[in-house]
């Protein structure tokens, strides 16, 4: 029962209470009452017993919390996606949309379907495609106004207020991982805009409106490993929502961490490795 | 107005009232597109997978035209000794300035946040070729305006202004070449787009720019040369026709060589863009508009009617119309297909803006019409009130 309760609080924290927590954290940072969102929430992040830590999600949560105690330049965030486990259910896509309040036409983590072979010898696999957070990201140097850069922990960051919307970064990304926010709403063409479309998002630890003409509308957008959640000591939404535990996340700089173990295997690949972009997203095949 | 009853037929076309009327109509019609961009914040038919389209194509076309014209004018005058073009200098500079302004406008409209355009000037990242493009474009514009100013002043203070003019002319050439190379490089360095990356685009852009520039210069000579009615006018036009014909052939050979380099290895990622150009849904833009109207017709006219000025004029006009298809057939096909290993991305999540299919929307055309209206208006007013009175007075 205790385990179930812990799991419920974990998922509840990620799926329901988190936006309000982050919002409160952002407000605290904006009002100058605290240094960072992480300062506010890391102390509140749950502690787990050794038995509970046997669960993968809980283990990753624990490792994340340990990593957050290190200086940012010593963290090396890595995502590992086990394609053998991915069922292609799209829960990660949807939870990402819900977490980041993505408008119509913007997607951070589509799940591609690949058909292999031909009848009668045919099989299929699903390939989730978040931003690869490349170590040598081709999208970064092309930005004419320095609106995108690589953080010290390796996440490719963005400043929506700086982005002029030229879309050069979109042409430079070999993974089609950047989408443009055209300012569309799900209720376009319906009698009334619904209140949920006006709920702000908290990407990059800032409050963003959802109005056409205001950032992030008119900007390029991309997956950021839920950096606002990370800074609050929580796992990205796609990780906690995966029904098959197919997505792993953590700090690969610690050899004892789960992701460090996983990416040391021989069955790992990275997409378009020949381009030399050195993605931080690995796939297990 | 330069038009007189005794002037050749083409001479009447540049009646500024006609030009002004066309410019104002273009601005009025195009205003709706600009309203949609600036007020309604719409971006036409562009998608997240085809993020650049007609507007970027129009920008490249206008820059090709004006830089190519200035460089070809310089080469023809200084190295090939085409003296009949001497008095065309202020017209060419004014045309270049007009085209640059139109180009700058259309590329600003392409931004998701057009009112943040200033950031590209004040907070640039010079590691990005786009920053170089914007800065070079603006500097080049300033140089041309200063050059035109020095040209007009040159008569009154011959020595000092002539030195300025010479200096500005000589620095405008490397700046122009650099601008074209940077724009070509802006596409060519994108390793993620094999169709662009497989070509030597900076060089291709330079050749395309020169060819288009010679075409525009020929047309400008026929329409606006102050030597009209003199034997030199006709002689220069025929001389230009021969050079123009050579330029068209060089352009075709260069494109063919480039296409073969892309197609011959048969690497699907590289060849896919070329297949789209040649056999895709918009095949007619390259075969009929560009190669048919823009290359074959001008070549036939220049071969069989090279002594007739009207034929030379039509050949140049057709060439320029056909040439509009070149930048769009480089830019859009480079984006309009998924990258290798990412083939399933379009089906992975459905939305009209997550598509590799792109057809320019009406509002995109309207914005381009508005930009052309700006260029035409600047040229018409500049010609009527600055260039033409000057030429009338001094020549």
pLDDT at B3: 38
Q: Which residues of A touch B191 (CB under 8 A)?
A: 138, 174, 275
Nearest to residue B348, comparing CAs of A177, A45, A24? A177
Residue A3 pLDDT grade (very low, low, confident, very high; cuts 50, 70, 90)? very low
Q: Which residues of B touch A129 (CB under 8 A)?
A: 342, 345, 348
A165/B127 Cβ within 8 A: no
- Cα→Cα distances A49→A2, A68, A69, A201, A224, Å: 11, 19, 19, 33, 30
Give the three-class secondary structure for B358. Answer: coil
Q: Which residues of B touch A137 (CB under 8 A)?
A: none
Asked if A251 and A78 touch (Cβ cutoff 8 Å), the reply is yes
What contacts B148, CB < 8 A, 6 or more positions away? B90, B93, B94, B97
Give the three-class secondary structure for A3. Answer: helix
> Is the pLDDT reported for residue A9 higher than 50?
no
- Region of residue B32 (left: phi > 0; alpha: psi -120 to 50; beta: else): alpha
User: pLDDT by residue for chain B (395 residues), tens digit each?
Assistant: 333 434 443 344 457 788 899 999 999 999 999 999 999 999 999 999 999 999 999 999 999 999 999 999 999 988 888 888 888 999 999 999 999 999 999 999 999 999 999 999 999 999 999 999 999 999 999 999 999 999 888 765 567 788 888 899 899 999 999 999 999 999 999 999 989 987 788 999 999 999 999 999 999 999 888 888 888 999 999 999 999 999 999 999 998 988 888 888 888 878 888 899 999 999 999 999 999 999 999 999 999 998 899 999 999 999 999 999 999 999 999 999 998 888 889 999 999 999 999 999 999 999 999 999 999 999 999 998 888 888 887 76
Nearest to residue A182, comparing CAs of B44, B55, B117, B30? B44
> Is the pLDDT reported for residue A71 higher than 60?
yes
Q: Within a domain: residue B209?
A: yes
> Cα A228–A234–A237 angle (5° rounding)?
75
Of the CA atoms within 13 Å of residue B385, those in its CB half-sphere come to 7
For residues A180 and B354, give the distance between their C-alpha atoms in angstroms, rounded to a whole number: 9
Q: Within a domain: residue B114?
A: yes
pLDDT at B153: 82
pLDDT at B341: 84
> Locate tokens 């896509």: which residue?
A93
pLDDT at A2: 42
For residues A123 and B248, give the distance between their C-alpha atoms in angstroms, rounded to a whole number: 52
B51/A180 Cβ within 8 A: yes
> Locate tokens 């569309």: which residue?
A184
A175/B342 Cβ within 8 A: yes
B110/A168 Cβ within 8 A: no
For residues A145 and B133, give the distance between their C-alpha atoms in angstroms, rounded to a whole number: 13
For residues B128 and A168, give the distance between their C-alpha atoms in angstroms, rounded to a whole number: 10
Q: Taking all residues of chain A, what is their mean pLDDT, rounded to a whole number?
A: 86
Q: Within a domain: residue B136?
A: yes
Nearest CB neighbour to B128, from listed A142, A165, A182: A142
Domain boundaries, chain A: 2-284
pLDDT at B80: 87
B192/A129 Cβ within 8 A: no
Compute the nearest-CA separation of A241 from chain B (Å). 18
The encoded tokens of residue B47 equal 């998608």
Cis peptide before A216 (omega within 30 of 0): yes
Q: Topology of domain A2-284, per CATH? A: Alpha-Beta Plaits (3.30.70)
For chain A positions 88-127, those within 8 Å of chain B (CB to CB) are 93, 104-107, 110-114, 127
For the segment A51-65, the average pLDDT, to the nearest whole number, is 83
The encoded tokens of residue A74 equal 């010593």
For chain B positions 300-339, those within 8 Å of chain A (CB to CB) are 335, 338-339
| Number of Cβ within a 10 Å radius of residue B8 | 15
B344/A114 Cβ within 8 A: yes
A171/B192 Cβ within 8 A: yes
> Cα A231–A235–A238 angle (5° rounding)?
125
Asked if B52 and A169 touch (Cβ cutoff 8 Å), the reply is no
pLDDT at B321: 94
Its ipTM equals 0.91
Compute the nearest-CA separation of A136 from chain B (Å). 13
For the segment A63-91, the average pLDDT, to the nearest whole number, is 95
The encoded tokens of residue B382 equal 């500049």
pLDDT at A8: 41
pLDDT at B199: 77
Asked if B72 and B210 touch (Cβ cutoff 8 Å), the reply is yes
Report which of residues A60 and A38 the model is more confident about. A60
For residues B48 and A241, give the distance between their C-alpha atoms in angstroms, rounded to a whole number: 26
- Cα→Cα distances B299→A104, A239, B109, Å: 50, 63, 36
B129/A138 Cβ within 8 A: no
Is B52 an interface residue toward A (CB < 8 Å)? yes
| Number of Cβ within a 10 Å radius of residue A35 | 10
pLDDT at B270: 81
Residue B318, domain extent: 9-394
Q: Within a domain: residue B2?
A: no
Q: Which residues of B touch A184 (CB under 8 A)?
A: 353
Nearest CB neighbour to B123, from listed A138, A146, A271: A146
Nearest to residue B342, comparing CAs of B126, B217, B207, B194? B194
| Number of Cβ within a 10 Å radius of residue B204 | 21
B339: which DSSP letter?
P
pLDDT at A15: 41
Give the three-class secondary structure for B55. Answer: helix
Taking the mean position of all CA atoms in its chain, how far away is CA B42?
25
Q: Which residues of B touch A145 (CB under 8 A)?
A: 116, 119-120, 123-125, 131
For residues B228 and B240, give the distance between their C-alpha atoms in angstroms, rounded to a whole number: 15
Report the percent of chain A where pLDDT is more than 90. 73
For residues A6 and A14, give the distance between their C-alpha atoms in angstroms, rounded to a whole number: 12
Q: Residues of B293-321 as b/e, b for ≥16 C-beta within 10 angstroms? A: bbbbbbbebbeeebeebebbbbbbbbbbe
- Cα→Cα distances B33→B44, B199, B306, Å: 9, 34, 41
Is B51 an interface residue toward A (CB < 8 Å)? yes
Of A5-19, A177-191, A250-264, B242-256, least confident by mean pLDDT is: A5-19
For residues A195 and A214, give the distance between their C-alpha atoms in angstroms, rounded to a whole number: 17
- Region of residue B339 (left: phi > 0; alpha: psi -120 to 50; beta: else): beta
Q: Which residue of B has its CA nearest to A270?
A: B341
B41/A173 Cβ within 8 A: no
Any alpha helices (H) in chain B, and if so which ranges?
Answer: 16-38, 54-78, 89-109, 119-122, 129-153, 158-188, 194-197, 201-224, 231-263, 268-279, 283-284, 297-304, 309-323, 325-335, 345-348, 362-382, 388-394
Quote the number of domains for chain B: 1
Cis peptide before A120 (omega within 30 of 0): yes
Q: What CATH number is associated with residue B310?
A: 1.20.1630.10
For residues B368 and B327, give the distance between their C-alpha atoms in angstroms, rounded to a whole number: 14
Asked if B337 and B272 touch (Cβ cutoff 8 Å), the reply is yes
Compute the nearest-CA separation of A58 from chain B (Å). 30
pLDDT at B154: 73
Q: Which residues of A touch B49 (CB under 8 A)?
A: 176
What contacts A73, CB < 8 A, 6 or more positions away? A152, A153
Nearest to residue A79, comparing CAs of A258, A274, A265? A258
Q: Within a domain: residue B377?
A: yes
Q: Which residues of B touch A134 (CB under 8 A)?
A: none
Query: Integer distance in angstroms from the first to the last C-alpha of chain B?
Result: 14
Compute the nearest-CA separation of B205 from chain A (Å). 19
Instruction: Identify which of A30-44, A73-87, A208-222, B147-161 has the greatest average pLDDT.
Output: A73-87
For residues A60 and A251, give the distance between their C-alpha atoms in angstroms, rounded to a whole number: 9
């Amino acid at each position: 029962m205790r385990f179930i309760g812990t799991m419920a609080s974990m998922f509840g924290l990620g799926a329901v209470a988190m936006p309000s927590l982050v919002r409160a954290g952002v407000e605290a940072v904006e009002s100058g009452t605290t240094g960072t969102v992480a300062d506010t929430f890391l102390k509140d992040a749950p502690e787990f017993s050794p038995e509970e830590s046997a669960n993968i999600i809980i283990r990753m949560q624990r490792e994340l919390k340990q990593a957050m105690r290190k200086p940012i330049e010593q963290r090396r965030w890595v995502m590992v996606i086990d394609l053998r486990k991915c069922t292609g259910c799209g829960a990660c896509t949807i939870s990402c949309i819900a977490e980041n309040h993505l408008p119509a036409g913007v997607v951070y983590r589509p799940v591609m379907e690949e058909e292999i072979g031909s009848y009668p010898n045919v099989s299929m696999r699903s390939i989730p495609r978040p931003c690869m957070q490349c170590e040598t990201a081709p999208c970064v140097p092309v930005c004419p106004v320095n609106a995108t850069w690589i953080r010290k922990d390796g996440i490719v960051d963005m400043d929506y207020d700086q982005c002029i919307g030229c879309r050069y970064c979109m042409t430079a990304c070999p993974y089609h991982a950047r989408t443009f926010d055209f300012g569309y709403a799900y209720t376009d063409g319906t009698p009334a805009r619904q209140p949920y479309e006006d709920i702000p998002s908290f990407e990059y630890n800032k409050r963003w409106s959802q109005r056409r003409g205001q950032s992030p509308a008119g900007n390029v957008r991309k997956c950021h490993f839920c950096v606002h959640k990370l800074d609050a000591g929580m796992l990205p939404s796609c990780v906690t929502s995966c029904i098959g535990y197919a997505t792993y996340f953590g700090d690969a700089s610690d050899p004892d961490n789960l992701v460090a173990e996983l990416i040391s295997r021989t069955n790992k690949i990275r997409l378009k490795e020949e381009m030399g972009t050195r993605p931080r997203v690995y796939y297990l095949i | 107005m330069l038009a007189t009853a005794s002037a050749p037929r083409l001479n009447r076309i540049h009646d500024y009232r006609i030009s002004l009327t066309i410019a104002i109509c273009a601005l009025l019609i195009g205003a709706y597109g600009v309203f949609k961009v600036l007020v309604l914040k719409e971006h036409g038919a562009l998608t997240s997978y085809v993020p650049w389209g007609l507007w970027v194509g129009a920008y490249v076309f206008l820059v090709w035209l004006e830089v190519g014209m200035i460089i070809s004018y310089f080469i023809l005058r200084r190295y090939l000794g085409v003296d009949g073009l001497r008095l065309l200098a202020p017209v060419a500079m004014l045309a270049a300035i007009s085209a640059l302004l139109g180009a700058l406008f259309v590329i600003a409209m392409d931004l998701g946040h057009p009112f943040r355009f200033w950031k590209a000037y004040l907070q640039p990242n010079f590691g990005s070729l786009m920053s170089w493009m914007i800065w070079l474009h603006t500097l080049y514009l300033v140089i041309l305006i200063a050059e035109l100013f020095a040209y007009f002043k040159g008569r009154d203070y011959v020595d000092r202004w002539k030195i300025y003019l010479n200096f500005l002319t000589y620095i405008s050439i490397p700046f122009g070449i650099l601008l074209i190379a940077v724009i070509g490089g802006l596409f060519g360095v994108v390793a993620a787009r094999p169709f662009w990356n497989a070509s030597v685009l900076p060089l291709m852009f330079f050749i395309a720019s020169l060819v288009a520039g010679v075409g525009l210069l020929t047309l400008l000579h026929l329409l606006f040369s102050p030597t009209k009615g003199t034997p030199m006018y006709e002689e220069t036009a025929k001389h230009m026709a021969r050079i123009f014909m050579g330029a068209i052939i060089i352009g075709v050979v260069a494109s063919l060589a480039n296409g073969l380099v892309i197609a011959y290895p048969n690497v699907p990622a590289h060849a896919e863009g070329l297949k789209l150009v040649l056999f895709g849904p918009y095949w007619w833009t390259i075969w009929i508009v560009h190669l048919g109207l823009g290359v074959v017709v001008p070549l036939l006219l220049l071969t069989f009617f090279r002594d007739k000025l009207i034929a030379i004029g039509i050949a140049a006009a057709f060439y320029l119309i056909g040439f509009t298809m070149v930048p769009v057939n480089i830019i859009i096909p480079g984006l309009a297909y998924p990258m290798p290993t990412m083939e399933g991305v379009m089906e992975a999540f459905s939305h009209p803006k997550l598509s590799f299919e792109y057809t320019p929307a009406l509002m995109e055309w309207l914005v381009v019409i508005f930009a052309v209206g700006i260029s035409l208006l600047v040229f018409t007013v500049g010609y009527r009130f600055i260039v033409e009175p000057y030429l009338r007075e001094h020549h």
